[in-house]
Structure 1
Amino acid sequence: MKKITHVHKFMSILTVLFFLLSTSLHSNGQSKKEKLDKVLEKYTEYSQFNGSVLVAENGKVIYKKGFGLANMEWDIPNKANTKHRLGSITKQFTAMLILQLKEEGKLKLDATISEYLPNYSKTNGNKVTIHQLLTHTSGIPSYTSYPNFFKDMSRDSYQPMEFTHFFADSTLQFQPGEKFRYNNSGYFLLGVIIEKITGKSYEEALQERIFTPLNMKNSGFDHHSTIMKNRATGYEKRGDGFINAPYLDMSLPYAAGSLYSTVEDLYLWDQALYTNELLSKEGMDLFFGEHMPTGNRFYAYGWSTGEQKIGNTDNKVYSISHGGGINGFNTIISRFPEDKHLIVLLNNTGGTNLGEISNAITGILYDLTYDMPKKSLAKALFELINKKDLNSGLKWFKANKDSEIYALKENEFNRIGYQFLQIGKLKEAIAVFKINVDRFPKSSNVYDSLGEAFLKDGQKDLAVVNYKKALELDPGNSNAEKIIEELENKN
């Protein structure tokens, strides 16, 4: 028998260890990919996801894929390079431009709006600072919350400064800096300030300062008129199917929500944020700073930061994230800087619960337990009521509301309630909204929706009761406040 020397023995052990390690890594990689496939395929099967996904682990992409259709009319599938509208993920790019201008000495965060936009109304322009616009603490009402915004304004095109006149003289919801209230008007104004300081359009500033340096060739300001390859069409759920999302002129979301991108380009963005290519270290610290508490997290500049649960466990991890929603699309980007993990989900059927999907993926990334998707209780109820009648639907709901097969989600019940409302089925709408109120009694939105249904049904007293509850839970609900005033004045 051949004698094994100490050197040979060491090399043999090393070889075995290397083999075991590489096999383990490969196995884990395959296991995670299989788990991701299983979760996302099930969400797609249940019509709860339709879009593009990218997952990175330790800074390296381990998964990217498209699910469902980018265009349903032509059966064109979603892919990793499909371009989706981002909605409010746009805000982090706007914030980056503002901080670049600050770093160049062209802007001060504690300066007021009027200092950079002398033609803007002094009513609020002398009171609100750039920092307050960045952190949603300005008190300026969000124009997208105006009762008739989508009905009367969303299809029209405006020049940025022209559009600011719609909210420039609005009564502030609170004293600037006093509290946090998410606000699209603030980021719209930041875009106008960027244009004023740079002498270029918001779109040109983005391209020159961020997209070109980072080689983000598949990102930009979305224009409806542009012929753009690989662009996803936006859809919205209606009953058990989908419709084309209502048209929205992209001059309105502007610096608060008008960008498009791909999961691949957002990975490039994520990686650049670990460097000082766009900002100094001090600037990056400011970008991700804990500027304003929002519940158990903080709002930075265009980002939400803080600890979040991993999967369905009690374990937590620090994350930097933000979501977006715009007609026919909703999106989320979640960064885990301690491990350089990344999750990007871009969905083109609007209104789905991407936070839930992202949470399951987080569980997979950290090798912890997570929940598999469940069927939509709202969707099944909607179909049964349409097929039979309201009483049959409510009886079935009572028997299945605590089922392990179905999930009861506030946004889905709200959606089917409005579908009944739109087709004049007021009793059905009221019944669905009552389910939401019963299950989510701390949500302002469920009372607002029920109030609207009662109002359409002519039950004004009950409408006032529910609108008052909505206002109590969300004092910034200007729509509820206005309707209460109108109804009580009539009486």
Structure 2
Amino acid sequence: MQPKNRFSRRTMIVRAAAVLITFCSTSILISCPNDVPSDRRRLEAELMPVVERYQSKELEPGFGICLFDTEGPLWSYYYGYADTNRKIPFSGKTVFWTGNVSELAVAAKILQLSDAGKIHINDPISRYIPDFFKGAVPGSGFAKIADAQIEDILSHLTGIAADYSSLDYVNYEPLRNLKEFLVDAGEGFPPGSRYTHAGALFDLLGILIEKTEGKPFGDAMKEGIFHPLGMESTSFKYHSSLFDATLNYKSRDTNPFETKMLDFQNVEIPSNSMRSTIEDLIPFYSGLIDEEEDRPFLSHVSIRKMFTTKSEYSLARQGKKIGYVWMLSLPELSHLGEIAWYNGRYLSNRNVIILARDLGIGVVCATNSWEIIETESILDLAVETLNKYAETELGIAIKRIELPSVERVPPGIVDSLKGVFASPFGVYAFVFDEASAELALEDSSAHLEYRGRGGFYMKGDSDIEIISAGPEGYITIYKKNDTIDTAAKVRHSPYESMWVSRTGTYRIRDSSKLPAFNLYAFSLNMKQNALVVSSGDAKEYLVVPSSPYEAKVLCNASSIFFGKTLKVSDDSGLMIEGVAFEKTRGGS
């Protein structure tokens, strides 16, 4: 690894070339002039083949990518349209919805308040907005939210499941609807025990910002973060003129679905509704690369905190290294030193940001279409772009493995793999839809690419690398830590109705049993034809009833369920080794 400060400044691309970036790379309308600096031409020749592998030639909706360092853009490329009907190109000035990436700006504002001594991030959130929690019943989930530390909210380590579905955004106003939403939030797990994304808690931070600054949330963000950085096109507020910038597209239809989705867009949500442009985001992200100096909007101490690992437990149990919002582990870029990344989506707008902080560079990608490039593919594009730049411009050796070509999944493979497989290491559930394949995980799913005899390759952030069909009724799972697992297909008859009726989320009834028992909460759910249990280690395990009232869990010694028996109790709860668990409110 090269010294960090060597690459914290521009070394090969002259500043004057930046003016040509958007102009030169809008491939629909303009080609590059002959007087582009040679460094710029060389960089484009190196990076364009990477981009061209991802873009669709058949579709007109657009995407953009920009590579940058601490001083600004190094190279960018834009393709397609922000508005296909009016032929408005997708460019660095195209306004798009950033989705969950909004949380990064909210986190920066919270740390700014901490820099000013207005709040302390290790305080409970209720200290600053006590009126919001009036009437909270002691011991309830809502009371636990009141006790959540601001730092845990920033890291999604509260253990509280408080995330939205798209329908929750219709006519949503945080001050009016948030309390009603959070009263029913799942309590989940002890603070700090696991990463549990909770976007709704960032709306609480929005209310805290309003009260502390004495002004509307959007104005506080504009004055504290956006204006000092020159981010004049960035806002959390809805404005009709934004439709001149970007529309939303799906499938292979170039007609936008704006008219059907207006209710989803006329919102101001701290956790999700930030609108911005690639050009606006660059000064924000580039200011976070170097933690040695104060920035106009944040101290170097707070920047360092933002990228400091917050929970070794979540790393060990979930494989997630977490900072304030930022994810700090990405195996595909581990050879580049310290990495931070995050992605967001709202309707069909998707974007990804990666910072290679030891090298002083970053990359941001965005699109307005589901079909052109999925979020996972944008992440792959960003990874490949950084790798290519590091290899050709910085002289860093990149280890690459040539993969077999992606193929359509043969019907015979679909028939043999459709369903649930189980082993002591966990449950693997395949879902097939025409040519695509997904692996259903604990609380999400991961896209699989079929590469013939090479098997299924996992896309996105997972410890699984390859899954291949074994002998009839078995699969083999190859993991990134070089371990191998073999799982058998679940073929048993339907469960007793007693067990099916007990599905839901459970928490320990008597918290005084902790930490000796070391299990606070768990979920029991049906996954296709299998009954599975999970407890926050990002894995699900097969439940095997031995009677209508008792069951064992198929797991290894690393699982908290190892050697334990689940029993049905008389009061609609469950018992584990004599310890009572009750179904949480809303659990079903």
Q: TM-score, normalised by structure 2?
A: 0.58
Which stretch of the first structure deviates more once superposed, 259-268 or 135-144?
135-144
- In 2, the alpha carbon distance for the partners of 1:108 and 1:29 equals 46
> 2 CA distance for matches of 1:321 and 1:53?
15
Cα deviation code 1:12-50 (max 9, x no counterpart)? xxxxxxxxxxxxxx7664333123222222311267993
**1:98 aligns with one of 97, 107, 110:** 110
**1:38 maps to 2:49:** yes
What are the superposed Cα offsets for residues 311-332 of structure 1, whole Å, 9 maximum, x if unpaired?
Answer: xxx8343212211111111111
2:166 to 150, 155, 175: 150
CA deviations 1:187-239 (Å, max 9, x no partner) are 1211111112112121111100011111111211141x52237521122336x
Determine whether 1:226 maps to 2:249.
no
| Aligned position for 1:420 | none
* One-letter amino acid of the structure 1 residue matched with residue 382 of structure 2: S
Match of 1:170 in 2: 185
Residue 82 to residue 308, structure 1, CA distance change in 2 (3 Å): same
Structure 1 gap segments, 5+ residues each: 1-25, 382-390, 395-399, 412-436, 443-453, 455-459, 479-484
Alignment of 1:13-52 (within 5 A): 29-45=40-56, 50-52=62-64
1:344 equivalenced with 2:368 (yes/no): no
Cα deviation, residue 103, structure 1:
1.9
Separation (CA, whole Å) in 2 of partners of 1:226 and 1:439 = 52
The aligned runs of 1:352-363 (5 Å cut-off) are: 352-353=375-376, 354-363=378-387
Q: Match of 1:472, as an amino acid?
A: S
| Matches of 2:538 and 2:266, distance apart in 1 | 25
User: Secondary structure of 1:213's partner?
Assistant: helix
C-alpha distance 120-285 of structure 1, shift in aligned 2 (>3 A)? same
Matched, 1:258 2:320: no
Residues 218 and 237, structure 2, Cα contact 8 Å, conserved in 1: no
SS across alignment from 1:163: helix
| Structure 1 position 402 matched with structure 2 position 451 | yes
Task: Show structure 2 runs of 5+ residues with no match.
Answer: 1-36, 137-142, 392-397, 412-431, 436-448, 461-473, 480-493, 495-499, 502-524, 541-582
CA shift for structure 1 position 260: 1.3
User: How many positions carry a matched residue from both structures?
Assistant: 398
Equivalent position to 1:472, from 527, 534, 539: 534
Shift of 1:140: 2.1
Residues 165 and 179 of structure 1: CA distance in aligned 2, closer, same or farther (over 3 Å): same
Give the letter for the 1:466 counterpart: Q
Task: Quote how far apart the aligned CAs of 1:252 are.
Answer: 6.2
Asked if the contact 2:109/2:221 (under 8 Å) is kept, the reply is yes
Give the C-alpha shift of residue 142 in structure 1: 2.2
Out of 68-77 and 368-377, give the one that drifted further.
368-377
Q: Is the 8 A contact 1:140 1:185 kept in 2?
A: no
2:257 to 240, 244, 253: 244
Closer, same or farther in 2 for the Cα pair 1:439/1:59, shift >3 Å? farther
Quick one: structure 1 residues 76 and 441, their matched pair in 2 at CA, closer, same or farther if it must change by over 3 Å? farther
CA distance in 1, matches of 2:454, 2:159: 43
| SS across alignment from 2:148 | coil
2: CA distance, partners of 1:117 / 1:196: 7
Q: Residues 407 and 59 of structure 1: is their aligned pair in 2 closer, same or farther, counting only changes over 3 Å?
A: farther
Match of 2:215 among 191, 194, 200: 200
Structure 1 stretch displaced more, 318-327 or 166-175: 166-175
Equivalent residue number for residue 309 of structure 1: 332
Q: Distance in 2 between matches of 1:335 and 1:347?
A: 19
Correspondence for 1:63 among 28, 53, 75: 75
**What displacement does 1:346 show?**
0.9
Contact 1:376 1:407 (C-alpha < 8 Å) held by counterparts: no
Amino acid in structure 2 at the alignment position of 1:300: G
Q: 2:306 aligns to what?
A: 287
Q: Are the counterparts in 1 of residues 162 and 186 from structure 2 also a CA contact under 8 Å? A: no
Percent of residue pairs bearing the same amino acid type: 18
Report Cα offsets for 1:137-165 as digits up to 9, x if no partner. Answer: 11222232xxxx434x3322324353232
Aligned to 1:364: 388
C-alpha distance in 2 between matches for 1:329 and 1:37: 23
Q: Contact between 2:160 and 2:196, CA under 8 Å: does it hold in 1?
A: no
Structure 1 vs Structure 2 CA RMSD: 4.5
Structure 1 partner of 2:229: 214
Mark the CA change 1:315 to 1:157 in structure 2 (over 3 Å): closer, same or farther.
closer
Measure, in 1, the Cα distance between the counterparts of 2:70 and 2:401.
Answer: 23
Q: 1:356 to 1:46 in 2, by over 3 A?
A: farther
Distance in 2 (CA, whole Å) between partners of 1:289 and 1:356 is 24
* Paired residue type of 1:299: I
Equivalent position SS for 2:251: strand
- Tell me if structure 1 keeps the 8 A contact 2:40–2:75: no
Alignment correspondent of 1:6: none
Deviations 1:451-488 (A, max 9, x none): xxx9xxxxx99x9353756653867899xxxxxx9xxx
Structure 1 counterpart of 2:575: none
Matched to 2:451, the amino acid is D
Counterpart for residue 98 of structure 2: 86
Q: Which protein, 1 or 2, shows the higher relative CO under an 8 Å CA cutoff with sep ≥ 6?
A: 1
How far did residue 168 of structure 1 move? Answer: 3.0
Matches for 1:381-460 after TM superposition, within 5 Å: 401-403=450-452
Shift of 1:267: 1.1
Matched residue SS, 1:360: helix
Kept in 1: contact 2:72–2:286 (CA 8 A): no
